[in-house]
Amino acid sequence: MPQLTINRDELIHALTFRFEMLEGGAYLDTETGNILFTGDGADEVPENMEEDPRYLWIEPIASHESYRIMEDFIATVDDPGASARLVHAIEGTKPFRRFKDALHDFPSLRDAWFAFENAAHIRFAESWCEENGIEANWV
């Protein structure tokens, strides 16, 4: 298992950013540990990066996984009114936007949500490295 120094925040960004709107994506350079972003506005990237085994495609987490993070968070909310409001928010169209809007009604939960979401994203980053046979030293 190769050991790489990886910027965890950059890997999390690559795992959670939806690239389909931009025709781009992200790759891990398996020699340097750098995360390379492609697409509009990206820095110069090596030619034929997609075919070069040195560069590992970082598949963003599916939206249903992000949805599940919201569900898991709601299950931790002790306030029945807040919990009901958040459940209602994710049941309709645009659940992510509605969830964030609903959090504005409960400022005391916002910090808890961001900490919960961050912890979930850290787990995704750790799992991604493990699934790809990488031992990460986080920076």
50 belongs to a structural domain: yes
117 belongs to a structural domain: no
95 belongs to a structural domain: yes
8 belongs to a structural domain: yes
Domains held by the chain: number: 2
Helix residue ranges per DSSP H, 6-94: 8-16, 63-74, 80-91
pLDDT in tens, 105-130: 999 999 999 999 999 999 999 999 99
Can you give the C-alpha Rg of the chain in angstroms?
Answer: 17
- Domain encompassing residue 99: 63-110
pLDDT in tens, 32-90: 999 998 876 666 788 888 899 999 999 999 999 999 999 999 999 999 999 999 999 99
Does residue 43 sit in the same domain as residue 9?
yes
Task: From residue 29, give the alpha-carbon distance in Å to each of 19, 25, 44, 63, 76.
Answer: 18, 13, 14, 25, 37
115 belongs to a structural domain: no
